[in-house]
């Protein structure tokens, strides 16, 4: 609750300061200050660039966290569930024998398709090593062996080019992001998997984590990796999200196997938690330290600005202007510089990093390719930081301007 | 040097302004210290002296595909290989899934290839004698408060036991430590007997995850690596052998391009800092034009005036930079003490200080250059008359 109020504070205070412009005295004092800004461009740019730096770095790092989290979370949904061997947190660590994969699909909570068959996809996950584009080293890429039902479960998937693989053949389709990151992923190229050559026949796009994967026929992948008829996971479509508990209970009561089920949304969210949190902590820490530096820069600039206008402010006071309008006018000037800095920083971060592609090692021990996402919420957050820095950096110089003894001020050169 | 007091007093002529600028410099170098420590930790992985003579052999398909144990004898026979061991990834967690562990099943000669793991001889002997024995790193032992003789249950995430249970019981028979403070992260592993793993696991027994070889002559490493890979050429388990350094570097680079991220942040930070301190120096010189003219009048050469201003800006950066790096050093050791050495941050050492000092001098010269030139070029008559 307290954090929420604090979060709104920069907006509220800025709004209050700007509203004060309705007052004629405030407006005229502020106008004088702003009209002389051009003569102090060098000093003013310190505030602008300092704040732009903070906002740019903050928004860029948070956009990385946002992009990674969104990529994983969008992979999952509430009405599909993934079944893994009990104790395994990821598909690559899990193993289910053939009997289990059949029984899981037969549970009554599983949705059936138009032909009356359960929508349940036993899938195989193996890791292959492929050279990364623009680098001499290999990186891990996830190869997913799927059956027919996988298509019914991943409705977002569409073919961008080429065609689907033919069941029974050593053919692969490549996720759009994997195609961007790895060599040998063009249509018609050969990839060595399990010591055998596979042909790339299509590129698919799903906009989520699957885009980092290579897909092939589960039976053929299994034979290449000598995995028999066991599988890593079974993903099913539930009749409704509310059926999850019943589904889990049904699986738990079966003595033939020990498995755990969770919604795919849950499964993929869990995988993004640690990295997302780490990046957010890193980004906020860096931004706080940079903000401290920027605040002192703003203080310097604004104290100098006030000092250079000593005589003018004293004259205004002598004419009967009160202290309040002087305080507010200095604050307005700082806030305008801060807003300029915030906008510049946010625009730079957006221009450079929105849709910037990066990859990291994901839970399945293979590359997850994701795009930075600079969302409106992140931009607003960056602007809020800018305003907060402006308020703190402007307040003390503003107070000094208002407290200045008029007689001494008039004598200043 | 004799002008130090002059430089000092001009620097603090406007106390508030100089202090505020110094605070900004402190913030920038605090950030530099922290980020450099993170970057160093990632760059440092795998770079140790002992690692230079070790090779790692993994399946050519990928690290997660295991290799037959029959390779052991054949690798041993390769000329130039002085010792071979192997390991299986086990993973697992202690008590809660968030306490993920780095756990490996290893044969008894494993520690002879890792002399950097310091372990009392008696404890190594009990590792040989106790089937369920485990050897853990000191940092890991401290984290969970494990002591010699403790029985600890570890939950398997990959390998259930033959009965289907995920719980593996280990007896802690040894605790090793690593002397090099930069390698403290290596103290987070748990090693247990490969024989126990092989006999108790439901599947995955009878294989080796990867092999580690020590070469007699590090210079021959490439030749030995090729000879090892030749053993399995054209088989269904082709291998890829590389130096431990190269292997780890490739592995770390899969997480992220840490250098690029840290580099971009530092770029933004120092660009801002140059502008900020440059502005301060410009203001300081502008105010002092008549004073500089007087210095010239009483015989200071152009060059001395230039050096005085440059020295002032370098001093400004050096004070702030030193304080900032010192705070970073304290913060890093604090974080390491609190969160344990597995946190990827190296202590701020000589290398970091040298890089920091180089940056302070470089930035000091850059921001001092324009104001100093202005001071050098001023014409005494104009300056004294305030034109």
CB-count burial class (<10 Å; 0-12, 13-18, 19+) for B377: exposed
Least confident of A166-175, B270-279, B321-330, B337-346: B337-346
CB-CB under 8 Å, B157 with A53: no
Q: What is the mean pLDDT of residues B96-117?
A: 91
Instruction: Name which of A290, A278, A362, A347 is nearest A64 in CA terms.
Output: A278
Taking CA atoms, what residue in A is nearest to B203?
Answer: A95
CB-CB under 8 Å, A53 with B17: no
User: For A111-125, how does the pLDDT look when each residue is reduced to its tens digit (9 = 90+)?
Assistant: 999 999 999 999 999
pLDDT confidence band for A227 (50 / 70 / 90): confident
Q: What is the mean pLDDT of residues A366-370?
A: 92
pLDDT of amino acid A385: 95
CB-CB under 8 Å, A195 with B236: yes
Which position has the higher pLDDT, A338 or B342? A338
CB-CB under 8 Å, B21 with A300: yes
Assess whether pLDDT exceeds 80 at residue B291. yes
pLDDT confidence band for B341 (50 / 70 / 90): low
Rg over CA atoms, chain A = 30
User: A49 vs chain B: nearest CA distance in angstroms?
Assistant: 6
B18 neighbourhood in chain A, CB within 8 Å: none
Contacts of A195 (CB under 8 A, 6+ apart): A224, B61, B236, B238
Taking CA atoms, what residue in B is nearest to A279?
Answer: B261
Q: How far apart are CA A104 and CA A121, in angstroms?
A: 10
User: For A261-300, how does the pLDDT look when each residue is reduced to its tens digit (9 = 90+)?
Assistant: 999 999 999 999 988 998 999 999 999 999 999 999 999 9
Assess whether pLDDT exceeds 60 at residue A65. yes
Assess whether pLDDT exceeds 60 at residue B49. no
CB-CB under 8 Å, B62 with A126: yes
Percent of chain B with pLDDT over 90: 51
Return the SS3 of B246: helix
CB-CB under 8 Å, B282 with A293: no
Assess whether pLDDT exceeds 90 at residue B6. no
CB-CB under 8 Å, B164 with A139: no
Assess whether pLDDT exceeds 90 at residue B248. no
Which position has the higher pLDDT, B182 or A269? A269
User: B31 vs chain A: nearest CA distance in angstroms?
Assistant: 7
User: B165 vs chain A: nearest CA distance in angstroms?
Assistant: 9
**Residue ranges of A 344-383 with Cβ closer than 8 A to chain B:** 358, 360-361, 365, 367
Which of B31, B160, B279 is facing A46, going by the closest CB pair? B279
Q: What is the mean pLDDT of residues B242-270?
A: 85
pLDDT confidence band for B172 (50 / 70 / 90): very high
Which of B24, B158, B255 is facing A361, going by the closest CB pair? B255
Assess whether pLDDT exceeds 60 at residue A4. yes
At B134, list the tokens. 């485990």
Rg over CA atoms, chain B = 29
Taking CA atoms, what residue in A is nearest to B237?
Answer: A195
- A-B CB pairs within 8 A amount to 135
Q: What is the mean pLDDT of residues B59-87?
A: 91
User: A24 vs chain B: nearest CA distance in angstroms?
Assistant: 33
Assess whether pLDDT exceeds 90 at residue A363. no
Q: What is the mean pLDDT of residues B60-81?
A: 90
Assess whether pLDDT exceeds 80 at residue B187. yes
User: For A174-196, how does the pLDDT look when each residue is reduced to its tens digit (9 = 90+)?
Assistant: 999 999 999 989 999 999 888 88
pLDDT of amino acid B375: 85
User: For B142-163, how does the pLDDT look when each residue is reduced to its tens digit (9 = 90+)?
Assistant: 989 999 999 999 999 889 898 8
Partner B contacted by A293 (CB < 8 A): yes
pLDDT of amino acid B46: 60
CB-CB under 8 Å, A367 with B254: yes
pLDDT confidence band for B327 (50 / 70 / 90): very high
Q: How far apart are CA A201 and CA A187, in angstroms?
A: 5
Chain A interface mutation, best of B45, B201, B268, B338, highest count of A Cβ atoms under 10 Å: B268
Taking CA atoms, what residue in B is nearest to A137?
Answer: B250
Q: What is the pTM of this model?
A: 0.89
Q: Best-predicted range by mean pLDDT among A88-92, A198-202, B112-116, B186-190?
A: A198-202
B17 neighbourhood in chain A, CB within 8 Å: 300, 303-304
Half-sphere exposure at residue A115, Cβ-oriented, CA atoms within 13 angstroms: 5
Q: Which residues pair with B192 in a beta bridge?
A: B105, B134
B276 neighbourhood in chain A, CB within 8 Å: 46, 49-50, 293, 297, 300
Assess whether pLDDT exceeds 80 at residue A6. no
Q: How far apart are CA A214 and CA A272, in angstroms?
A: 21
Ordered alpha helix ranges (H), chain B: 4-11, 15-44, 71-76, 121-129, 138-144, 194-200, 221-231, 244-253, 258-287, 289-297, 302-339, 350-377, 380-384
Which position has the higher pLDDT, A132 or B325? B325
Partner B contacted by A195 (CB < 8 A): yes
Return the SS3 of A196: strand
Computed over every residue of chain A, the mean pLDDT equals 90
Location of structure tokens 């019914």: A152
Beta strands B102-106; B67-68: pairing state: unpaired
Q: Best-predicted range by mean pLDDT among B50-54, B308-312, B319-323?
A: B319-323
At B129, list the tokens. 């004698």
pLDDT confidence band for B208 (50 / 70 / 90): very high
pLDDT of amino acid B1: 61
Return the SS3 of B381: helix
User: For A74-107, how does the pLDDT look when each residue is reduced to its tens digit (9 = 90+)?
Assistant: 999 999 999 999 888 899 989 899 999 999 999 9
Q: How far apart are CA A370 and CA B24, in angstroms?
A: 35
Q: What is the mean pLDDT of residues B70-87?
A: 93
Taking CA atoms, what residue in B is nearest to A364?
Answer: B64
Whether A370 contacts A359, CB under 8 Å: yes
Partner B contacted by A8 (CB < 8 A): no
CB-CB under 8 Å, B24 with A296: yes
Partner B contacted by A43 (CB < 8 A): yes
Computed over every residue of chain B, the mean pLDDT equals 89
Taking CA atoms, what residue in A is nearest to B235?
Answer: A195
Assess whether pLDDT exceeds 90 at residue B383. no
pLDDT of amino acid A43: 83
Which of B23, B158, B275 is facing A93, going by the closest CB pair? B158
**Residue ranges of A 199-238 with Cβ closer than 8 A to chain B:** 225-226
User: For B17-48, how does the pLDDT look when each residue is reduced to its tens digit (9 = 90+)?
Assistant: 899 999 999 999 999 999 999 888 887 766 66
Predicted ipTM > 0.90: no
A308 neighbourhood in chain B, CB within 8 Å: none
Q: How far apart are CA B273 and CA B267, in angstroms?
A: 10
CB-CB under 8 Å, B254 with A140: yes
Domain boundaries, chain B: 4-45+257-384, 61-237
């Amino acid at each position: 609750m307290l954090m929420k109020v604090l979060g709104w504070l920069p907006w509220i205070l800025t709004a209050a300061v700007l509203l004060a412009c309705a007052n004629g005295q405030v407006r005229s004092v502020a106008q004088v200050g702003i009209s002389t800004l051009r003569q102090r461009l060098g000093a003013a740019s310190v505030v602008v660039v300092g704040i732009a730096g903070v906002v740019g770095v903050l928004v860029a790092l948070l956009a990385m966290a946002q992009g990674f989290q969104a990529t994983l979370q969008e992979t999952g949904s509430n009405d599909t569930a993934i079944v893994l061997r009990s104790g395994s947190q990821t598909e690559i660590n899990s193993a289910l024998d053939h009997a289990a994969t059949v029984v899981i699909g037969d549970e009554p909570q599983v949705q059936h398709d138009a032909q009356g068959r359960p929508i349940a996809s036993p899938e195989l996950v193996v890791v292959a090593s492929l050279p990364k584009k623009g680098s001499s080293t290999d990186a891990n890429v996830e190869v997913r062996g799927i059956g027919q039902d996988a298509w019914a479960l991943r409705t977002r998937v569409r073919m961008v080019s080429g065609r689907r693989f033919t069941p029974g053949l050593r053919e692969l389709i490549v996720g759009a992001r994997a195609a961007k990151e790895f060599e040998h992923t063009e249509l018609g190229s050969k990839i060595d998997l399990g010591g055998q050559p596979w042909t790339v026949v299509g590129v698919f796009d799903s906009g989520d984590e699957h885009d980092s994967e290579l897909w092939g026929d589960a039976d053929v992948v299994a034979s290449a990796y000598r995995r028999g008829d066991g599988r890593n996971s079974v993903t099913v479509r539930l009749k409704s999200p509310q059926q999850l508990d019943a589904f889990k209970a049904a699986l738990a009561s079966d003595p033939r196997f020990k498995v755990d089920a969770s919604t795919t949304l849950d499964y993929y969210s869990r995988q993004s938690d640690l990295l997302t949190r780490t990046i957010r902590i890193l980004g906020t820490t860096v931004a706080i330290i940079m903000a401290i530096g920027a605040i002192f820069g703003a203080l310097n600039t604004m104290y100098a600005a006030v000092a250079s206008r000593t005589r003018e402010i004293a004259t205004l006071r002598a004419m009967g202007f009160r202290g309040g309008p002087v305080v507010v006018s200095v604050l307005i000037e700082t806030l305008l510089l801060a807003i300029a800095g915030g906008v510049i920083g946010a625009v730079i971060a957006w221009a450079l990093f929105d849709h910037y592609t990066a990859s990291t090692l994901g839970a399945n021990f293979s590359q997850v390719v994701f795009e930075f996402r600079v969302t409106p919420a992140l931009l607003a957050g960056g602007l809020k930081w800018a305003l907060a820095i402006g308020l703190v950096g402007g307040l003390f110089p503003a107070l000094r301007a208002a407290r200045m003894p008029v007689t001494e001020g008039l004598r200043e050169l | 040097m004799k002008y130090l007091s002059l430089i000092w007093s001009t620097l603090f002529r406007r106390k508030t302004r100089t202090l505020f600028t110094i605070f900004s410099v402190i913030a920038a170098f605090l950030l530099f210290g922290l980020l450099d420590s993170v970057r160093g930790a990632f760059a440092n992985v795998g770079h140790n002296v002992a690692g230079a003579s070790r090779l790692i052999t993994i399946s050519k398909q990928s690290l997660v595909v295991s290799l037959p144990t029959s390779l052991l004898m054949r690798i041993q026979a390769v000329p130039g290989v002085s010792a071979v061991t192997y390991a299986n990834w086990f993973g697992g967690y202690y008590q809660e899934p968030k306490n993920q562990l780095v756990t490996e099943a290893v044969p008894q000669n494993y520690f002879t290839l890792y002399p950097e793991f310091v372990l009392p001889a008696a404890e190594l002997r009990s590792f040989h004698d106790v089937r369920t024995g485990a050897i853990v790193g000191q940092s890991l032992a401290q984290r969970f408060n494990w002591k010699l003789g403790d029985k600890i249950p570890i939950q398997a995430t990959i390998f259930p036991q033959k009965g289907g249970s995920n719980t593996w019981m280990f007896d802690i028979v040894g605790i090793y430590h690593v002397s090099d403070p930069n390698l403290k992260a290596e103290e987070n592993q748990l090693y247990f007997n490969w024989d126990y793993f092989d006999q108790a696991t439901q599947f995955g027994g009878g294989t080796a995850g990867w092999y580690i070889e020590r070469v007699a002559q590090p210079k021959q490493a490439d030749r030995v690596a090729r000879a090892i890979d030749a053993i399995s050429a054209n088989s269904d388990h082709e291998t890829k052998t590389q130096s431990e350094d190269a292997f780890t570097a490739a592995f770390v680079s899969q997480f992220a391009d840490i250098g690029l991220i840290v580099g971009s942040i530092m770029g933004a930070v120092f660009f801002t800092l140059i502008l900020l301190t440059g502005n301060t120096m410009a203001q300081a010189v502008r105010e002092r034009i008549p004073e500089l003219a007087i210095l010239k009048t009483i015989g200071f050469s152009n060059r001395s005036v230039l050096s005085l201003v440059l020295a002032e800006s370098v001093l400004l950066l050096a004070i702030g930079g030193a304080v900032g790096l010192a705070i970073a050093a304290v913060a890093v050791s604090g974080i390491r003490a609190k969160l344990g050495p597995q946190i990827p941050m190296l202590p701020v050492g000589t290398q970091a200080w040298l890089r920091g000092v180089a940056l302070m001098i470089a930035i000091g010269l850059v921001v001092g250059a324009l104001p100093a030139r202005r001071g050098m070029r001023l014409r005494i008559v104009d300056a004294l008359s305030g034109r």
